Amino acid sequence: MADASTVKIKTPAFDVEAIRKDFPILSQTVHGKPLIYLDNAATTQKPRQVIDRMYKFESEEYGTVRRGAYKISEHSTQLYEESRQKMAGFLGAPTKDEIVFTSGTTQAINLVAYSYGRKFIGAGDEIIISNIEHHANTVPWQVLCEEKGAVLKVIPVNDDGDLVMEEYDRLLNAKTKLVAVNHVSNALGTVNPIKEIIRKAHDAGAKVMIDGAQSAPHMKIDVQDLDCDFYTFSGHKMYAPSGIGGLFGKMEVLETMPPYVTGGDMILQVTLEKSTYQKPPSRFEAGTPPISQVIGLGEAIDYLNAIGIEKIGEYEHSLLEYGTRLLSDIEGLRIIGQAREKAALISFYLEDAHPHDVVTILDEDGIAVRGGHHCAQPTMKRFGVPATTRASMSFYNTPEELDALAASIQRCIKIFS
């Protein structure tokens, strides 16, 4: 096994020890061992800056948004809209009103399915997803197809975990109304060639929704350059609280869409007979939103920007390379997903130990990883495994933690041999 001291991670500008001090949870212990948190694809930890900002907001500034004409409400509304502006900047959206807040990616995809999908997709129309999607980007389309008599088509994936683009070319046709794929697969780590996917879909006259849950926190996103129609995100996967997320939608598309959830805040005028709707994004944000979570999201974006998303991506990539090398050396371990381009995530399968047992053994060593089907059962089926163990990295992880991961996996193999 390689030794951390002999393998230097070549990112001199990146002071991971200083960064780790920003994350209070990283100094916790589990079963008497220092916590090694490697389940970042499921959810990320929060820096003190985000926690403190929310604490300050809750204790000194909290008021409702978009309603009250008094000081603290106006102030809350301003902070709320500033977060929207920050999110727009983070994704490269042209205007802040093209950012719609939802509870997360799941709800954002449902918004597109129910609002856009119900209006614009009909019998015989086709929707294209891929074989490596999260259930959140599978089930809403199945439901819509069933309701409308539309047809769901699936881009296959090769043994490495790359989408078979020739098949995608074949699937696209005049009936294709929407292509919905993830930017990064949460089960395999594959970074999909979404720019090409988007361009080809547009050439065929289809709209494109990108599930960005796994990509937004790890790489530079520019929705204008990508030219996607929708791009979703989840706050809790980008160092912000859970309960907040949303999507970018092109204004020209959002404007054509009816409300998805109805009630207060999304209307212009209500009489007992009929209501007229607000413009986007308010049209899609009925009810009182998770205010402090939105403020926290804004703070998380500031935090990420201060480090620099490119630098984060570079460092995480060096972790991925290091971890892949370490795990490849383990006999009996099969890495599931070796795509040309990958995010910092390693899904693996041990011949003799089931992922659930692996997770329990690793937990005894303080290591938090995910074992299961990662809400991607069709992907597991494609690769012939019931489940995998997944170590997903963040810029606060270290090569030493990956050494501990490899050692713990070895211990596991020994127990089950």
Residues with active-site annotation: 375
Q: Which is nearer to ligand PLP, 241 or 366 (CB)?
A: 241
Stretch that binds ligand PLP, among 89-97, 98-106, 146-154, 161-169 (CB under 6 A): 98-106
Partner in contact with 416, chosen from ligand PLP, other proteins, none, beta carbon below 5 to 8 Å by kind: other proteins
Asked if 46 and 26 count as a contact pair (C-beta separation under 8 A), the reply is: no
Q: Report the C-alpha gap between 355 and 57 in whole angstroms.
A: 41
Instruction: Work out which of 189, 245, 280, 372 binds other proteins, going by CB under 8 A.
Output: 372
Partner in contact with 158, chosen from other proteins, ligand PLP, none, beta carbon below 5 to 8 Å by kind: none
Partner in contact with 353, chosen from ligand PLP, other proteins, none, beta carbon below 5 to 8 Å by kind: other proteins
Asked if 43 and 239 count as a contact pair (C-beta separation under 8 A), the reply is: no
Residues belonging to the chain? 417
Partner in contact with 106, chosen from ligand PLP, other proteins, none, beta carbon below 5 to 8 Å by kind: ligand PLP
Among the listed residues 27, 34, 29, 39, the one whose alpha carbon sits nearest the alpha carbon of residue 369: 39
Instruction: Work out which of 211, 285, 299, 316 binds ligand PLP, going by CB under 6 A.
Output: 211
Q: Give the shortest CB-105-to-ligand PLP separation in angstroms.
A: 4
415 binds other proteins (CB under 8 A): yes
371 binds other proteins (CB under 8 A): yes
Stretch that binds ligand PLP, among 189-197, 208-216, 327-335, 343-351 (CB under 6 A): 208-216
Asked if 191 and 215 count as a contact pair (C-beta separation under 8 A), the reply is: yes
How is residue 410 written in tokens?
Answer: 């070895």
268: amino acid identity, one letter: L
354 binds other proteins (CB under 8 A): yes
408 binds ligand PLP (CB under 6 A): no
Asked if 385 and 336 count as a contact pair (C-beta separation under 8 A), the reply is: yes
**Phi/psi at 358 (nearest 5 deg)?**
-60, -45
Asked if 231 and 221 count as a contact pair (C-beta separation under 8 A), the reply is: yes
410 binds other proteins (CB under 8 A): no
How is residue 154 written in tokens?
Answer: 């699936």
Q: Give the shortest CB-356-to-other proteins separation in angstroms.
A: 4
211 pairs with which residues across the strands?
A: 182, 232
How is residue 283 written in tokens?
Answer: 């049209």
Q: Which residues of 211-239 are buried (b: 16+ CB within 10 A; e: fewer)?
A: bbbbbbbbbebebeebebbbbbbbbbbbb
Q: Give the shortest CB-276-to-ligand PLP separation in angstroms.
A: 30
Stretch that binds ligand PLP, among 55-63, 100-108, 151-159, 296-304 (CB under 6 A): 100-108
Q: Give the shortest CB-326-to-other proteins separation in angstroms.
A: 24
Q: Which is nearer to ligand PLP, 213 or 304 (CB)?
A: 213
Asked if 117 and 137 count as a contact pair (C-beta separation under 8 A), the reply is: no
Instruction: Work out which of 79, 87, 155, 213 binds ligand PLP, going by CB under 6 A.
Output: 213
281 binds other proteins (CB under 8 A): no
414: amino acid identity, one letter: K
The contacts of residue 416 (CB under 8 Å, 6+ apart) are 350, 352, 353, 357
How is residue 54 written in tokens?
Answer: 């929310």
Q: State which of positions 128-167 bind other proteins (CB under 8 A).
A: none
- Give the number of C-alpha atoms closer than 13 A to the C-alpha of residue 262, restricted to the C-beta side: 13
40 binds ligand PLP (CB under 6 A): no
Instruction: Work out which of 357, 378, 407, 410 binds other proteins, going by CB under 8 A.
Output: 357
Instruction: Work out which of 40, 44, 186, 392 binds ligand PLP, going by CB under 6 A.
Output: 186
The contacts of residue 28 (CB under 8 Å, 6+ apart) are 34, 35
Site string for ligand PLP, 242-271 (x = CB under 6 A): ---x--------------------------
180 binds other proteins (CB under 8 A): no
3-state DSSP call for residue 191? strand
Instruction: Tell the residue number behind the tokens 């490697």, with chain if given.
Output: 38
Partner in contact with 380, chosen from other proteins, ligand PLP, none, beta carbon below 5 to 8 Å by kind: other proteins
Q: Which residues form the interface with ligand PLP (CB under 6 A)?
A: 104-106, 134, 136-137, 182, 186, 211, 213-214, 234, 245, 375
Q: Which residues form the interface with other proteins (CB under 8 A)?
A: 353-357, 360-361, 371-373, 377, 380, 386-387, 415-416
